[in-house]
């Protein structure tokens, strides 16, 4: 994980600040994580900058109570599970969280497709990007899957993996060297050639590859965060964005433990069935010998249903 000297100073100053008295609901387990960089990938990190609400806010919004506090934890847990089970999303929107994320540009391009958050990204028109780029570990270098156009298959042989890593490293280093030359700027901020003006930052940046790191602040409500995690923490998601989602799962578990338990049960560990799929299950429970040909399901949907039922 890489944080700049300025960022470290900012983090240390924030951590050294005495707590400010507040009437707002706070979550001690999340307070202990505030501002601290949680490492992801080789140079990335994720930080919790701020949050609003907790399990109590979800319960309060659902009951529309005013100053009544919360009831017993078991009652609150039951209500939250009911909301999750029946997809009553509005109470979860009452909670918000803001992250500072450092991530490779290609991961950011996937991430930004979730258009339900507020985002402010580091500007390479205004500032110069650091010489930091993502290199996968050898075990993450895999061949293209033959049955999934956007997935990975078997890990490359060691010799081929080493060749790929060397190629990625050399290309990224060369791109940054040319980036500096176009800017006419060294890493220490000095000019390479005092006689040259250098290319504008907004143009020089187009030379950098997608594995270079960017940063942004990302603020989202709990409902949409859970939707993001249901997709990006899934085993089928690309490993690099899943690495960030896995860290976020731990943050959510600390922030809203009752919500997280329900989310893990109904979303991460649950399954969605179509009407036809449910009919197949009823027929199987009735003792009928159902095959894919007699089920009415397509081949892929049949295989997915059998996998859910543990009858692959």
Given a contact cutoff of 8 angstroms between Cβ atoms, the answer to whether 198 and 184 are in contact is yes
First to last CA, the chain: 41
Q: How far apart are CA 144 and CA 1, in angstroms?
A: 28
Please pick, among 152, 232, 300, 303, the residue that the annotation labels catalytic: 232
Residue with tokens 């999934």: 148
The residues near 260 (Cβ < 8 Å, ≥ 6 apart) are 249, 252, 253
- Residue owning tokens 């578990």: 253
Give the whole-angstrom CA distance, residue 235 versus residue 246: 11
CB 95 within 8 A of CB 83: no
The number of beta carbons lying within 10 Å of the beta carbon of residue 4 is: 9
Asked about 152 being catalytic, the answer comes back as no
The HSE-up count of residue 161 (CA atoms within 13 Å, CB side) is 14
Burial class (CB in 10 A: 0-12, 13-18, 19+), 3: middle
Residue 40 forms beta bridges with which residues?
44
User: Hey, which residues are catalytic here?
Assistant: 232
């Amino acid at each position: 994980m890489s944080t700049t000297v300025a960022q470290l100073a900012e983090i240390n100053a924030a951590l050294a600040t005495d707590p400010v008295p507040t009437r707002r609901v706070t979550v001690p387990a999340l307070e202990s994580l505030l501002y601290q960089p949680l490492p992801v990938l080789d140079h990335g990190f994720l930080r919790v900058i701020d949050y609003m609400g907790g399990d109590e806010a979800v319960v309060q919004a659902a009951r529309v109570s005013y100053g009544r506090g919360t009831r017993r934890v078991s009652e609150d847990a039951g209500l939250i599970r009911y909301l999750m089970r029946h997809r009553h999303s509005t109470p979860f929107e009452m909670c918000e969280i803001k992250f500072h994320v450092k991530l490779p540009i290609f991961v950011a391009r996937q991430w930004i497709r979730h258009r339900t958050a507020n985002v402010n990204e580091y500007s390479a028109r205004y500032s110069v990007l650091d010489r930091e780029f993502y290199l996968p570990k050898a075990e993450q270098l895999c061949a293209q899957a033959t049955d999934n156009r956007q997935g990975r298959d078997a890990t490359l042989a060691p010799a081929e993996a080493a060749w790929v890593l060397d190629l990625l490293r050399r290309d990224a280093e060369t791109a940054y060297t040319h980036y500096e030359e176009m800017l006419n700027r060294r890493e220490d901020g000095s000019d390479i050639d005092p006689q040259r003006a250098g290319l504008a930052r907004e143009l020089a940046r187009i030379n950098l590859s997608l594995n270079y790191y960017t940063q942004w602040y990302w603020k989202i409500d709990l409902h949409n965060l859970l939707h993001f995690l249901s997709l990006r923490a899934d085993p089928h998601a690309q490993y690099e964005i899943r690495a960030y989602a896995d860290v976020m799962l731990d943050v959510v578990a600390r922030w809203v433990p009752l919500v997280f338990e329900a989310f893990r049960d109904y979303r991460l560990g649950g399954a969605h069935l179509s009407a036809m799929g449910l009919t197949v299950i009823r027929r199987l429970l009735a003792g009928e010998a159902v095959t894919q040909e007699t089920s009415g399901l397509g081949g892929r949907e049949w295989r997915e249903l059998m996998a859910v039922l543990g009858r692959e």
